Structure 1
Amino acid sequence: MLHPYFAHSVLALAAVVFFAGAARAAESPSYNFAPVNQYSPQVSASFWNPIIEYVSKKSGVRLNLKLGRTSADAMSYVLAREADFAFTNRLFCPGRAGLGWTVFGRRNTSPVRAQIVVPADSPIHRIEELAGTPVAFPGPEATIAYKVAYAELLRHKMPVDVVFAGNADAVFTQLFAGRVRAAGASSQLAQHYAGRERKAFRVLWTSPPFTDLALMASPRVPAAEARAVARAFFDMNRDPEGARILAEATTLVHSDTPFAFVPATGADYASYRAFCATAPLDVR
């Protein structure tokens, strides 16, 4: 039989373990937020970390930034069910639309366009001059900068050597270093890069407009928590702390439009579904 002192100690320890376990069980779950890596990993982390910390604090929903090294990594997290929120434009084509993710917002930026670009001082003036040359793209998952841009080359029966650089900044670095002759780009990211690095592009081709990337929630996220996260994003520009973070993000990437987040729905992304319906099979 245990001495009363030891029996009391055992019961006290059991109570501590029980209540600690109960406290952990009562904690709100955390959710992974996976944005497409549009810039270098360093710039992307500096852009998103303050925003995600703010949204977590204001919403009461814990978000963890899950940032990949390449632009394709965010999609791999979604498909592996390792992400609960995303900032992406890669869930609108058949096969992925059925995953059940819901659009709830976007940035307040102008529509983006796919472009095929060269340095401003390049001797190349027409896309027909790119036949047989190396052309850089962020990666096979880049909807605007690769799929839409490369589809145009396919429609022109323009064979090029495709080079995947990982993200838009890496694409432009290769372009201005002379390792590729041209690049597939998002008009938005080309403008940001030109402002940050003081570079100038010549645009050989531009697509019709597409809505900027979508803030999306997985069907696994409870509706109340998804709404709280959405409200925190939408209220950022109306709160002094949030407005400061958005201003710093705008300055960081040299956007010509001050960033804010606004509501959106799947209807805003009809242009992506239209592209998927008519694009060459190689890039759907």
Structure 2
Amino acid sequence: MFHPTMLLRRLWPLCLLLLAAFAPAQEPEAGFSFGVVPQRTAIDLARSWVPVLDYLGAKTGYRFEFRTARDADAFEQRLDTGEFDLVYMNPYQYILHHAKHGYRVYAKEKDRLLTGLIVVRVDSPYREVRELDGKTLAFPAASAFAASLLPRAYLSRMGIAYTPAYVASHDSVYIGVSKNLFIAGGGVHQTLNNLAPEIRKQLRVVWVSPPVTPHALAAHPRV
């Protein structure tokens, strides 16, 4: 199972090199804001990422402040202002905010690619994506890359009509499908595998995207 601590420990030499190379505009004790795209609930994200940031702080002497948002749209608004010094974001967000603010990638997970999914309830009669034609499908947000943009592009390319419902996070998609609030929804392997077992066992994958580049750890030019 993916865990951010394992990711950043593998990438630690690169992170240390770049943190040393780019002196912050503010005094070190002021620290860095570290934004994390809200694929899961804020509590779950904090549980995973705060130990990582504490680890980085202990290694560098800098303070890293964990930040996220209540949902993907709110996170996008904060990205749009260039709020975060450092940020973990999806490839689509990186393209947009590299162009707008000059964010640049300084690390990504080695030897791991990202795949989008469409899931249904395990007891659902739907076995193929084409059977979802005309249904309302749940997605985390319009800008969620592998969990929304990739499956929606595939559905459109195949001529499958659907109504999107944006429900704020990957966890909300999975819970909504497991509770029969939605016929199906989009996600990614990482967040699906991180689900509580009692929810995960209620879901079945009916479509997987081709693999794409993973989320990036990026820095604002002021860093």
TM-score range, shorter chain: 0.7 to 0.9
Q: Which has the higher contact order (CA 8 A, sep 6+)?
A: 2
Pair 27,183 (structure 1): closer, same or farther in 2 beyond 3 Å? closer
In the superposition, the TM-score normalised over structure 2's length comes to 0.80
Q: Which residue of 2 aligns with 1:65?
A: 66
More displaced 10-residue stretch of structure 1: 44-53 or 73-82: 73-82
Q: Name the SS of the counterpart of 1:174 in structure 2.
A: helix
In the alignment, structure 2 segments of 5+ residues that lack a partner are 1-25
Q: Which residue of 1 aligns with 2:168?
A: 166
Once residues 220 and 71 of structure 1 are traced to their aligned partners in structure 2, the CA distance between those partners, rounded to angstroms, is 24
Deviation string, structure 1 residues 204-247 (Cα, Å, up to 9, x no partner) = 221111232111111110xxxxxxxxxxxxxxxxxxxxxxxxxx
Q: Which residue of 99, 104, 108 maps to 1:106?
A: 108
Q: Given that residues 34 and 77 in structure 1 are in contact (C-alpha distance below 8 angstroms), is that contact kept between their aligned partners in structure 2? A: no
Q: Which residue of 2 aligns with 1:248?
A: none
Pair 171,45 (structure 1): closer, same or farther in 2 beyond 3 Å? same
Q: Given that residues 78 and 84 in structure 1 are in contact (C-alpha distance below 8 angstroms), is that contact kept between their aligned partners in structure 2? A: no
Once residues 128 and 145 of structure 2 are traced to their aligned partners in structure 1, the CA distance between those partners, rounded to angstroms, is 22
Q: Which residue of 1 aligns with 2:19?
A: none
Once residues 200 and 206 of structure 2 are traced to their aligned partners in structure 1, the CA distance between those partners, rounded to angstroms, is 20
What is the CA-CA distance between 1:83 and the residue it aligns to? 0.7
Q: Which residue of 1 aligns with 2:134?
A: 132
Which structure's CA Rg is the greater one?
A: 1
Q: Which residue of 1 aligns with 2:89?
A: 88
2:79 maps to amino acid: V
| Number of aligned residue pairs | 196
Q: Which residue of 2 aligns with 1:54?
A: 55
Q: Name the SS of the counterpart of 1:74 in structure 2.
A: helix
Pair 141,186 (structure 1): closer, same or farther in 2 beyond 3 Å? same
Pair 26,36 (structure 1): closer, same or farther in 2 beyond 3 Å? closer
Q: Given that residues 88 and 215 in structure 2 are in contact (C-alpha distance below 8 angstroms), is that contact kept between their aligned partners in structure 1? A: yes
More displaced 10-residue stretch of structure 1: 212-221 or 57-66: 57-66
More displaced 10-residue stretch of structure 1: 77-86 or 48-57: 48-57
Q: Given that residues 193 and 199 in structure 1 are in contact (C-alpha distance below 8 angstroms), is that contact kept between their aligned partners in structure 2? A: no
1:57 maps to amino acid: A
Q: Given that residues 93 and 143 in structure 2 are in contact (C-alpha distance below 8 angstroms), is that contact kept between their aligned partners in structure 1? A: no
Q: Given that residues 72 and 142 in structure 1 are in contact (C-alpha distance below 8 angstroms), is that contact kept between their aligned partners in structure 2? A: no
What is the root-mean-square deviation of aligned Cα atoms in Å? Answer: 2.1
Pair 194,131 (structure 1): closer, same or farther in 2 beyond 3 Å? farther
Q: Given that residues 28 and 63 in structure 2 are in contact (C-alpha distance below 8 angstroms), is that contact kept between their aligned partners in structure 1? A: no
Q: Given that residues 115 and 189 in structure 2 are in contact (C-alpha distance below 8 angstroms), is that contact kept between their aligned partners in structure 1? A: yes
Q: Which residue of 145, 153, 156 maps to 1:154?
A: 156
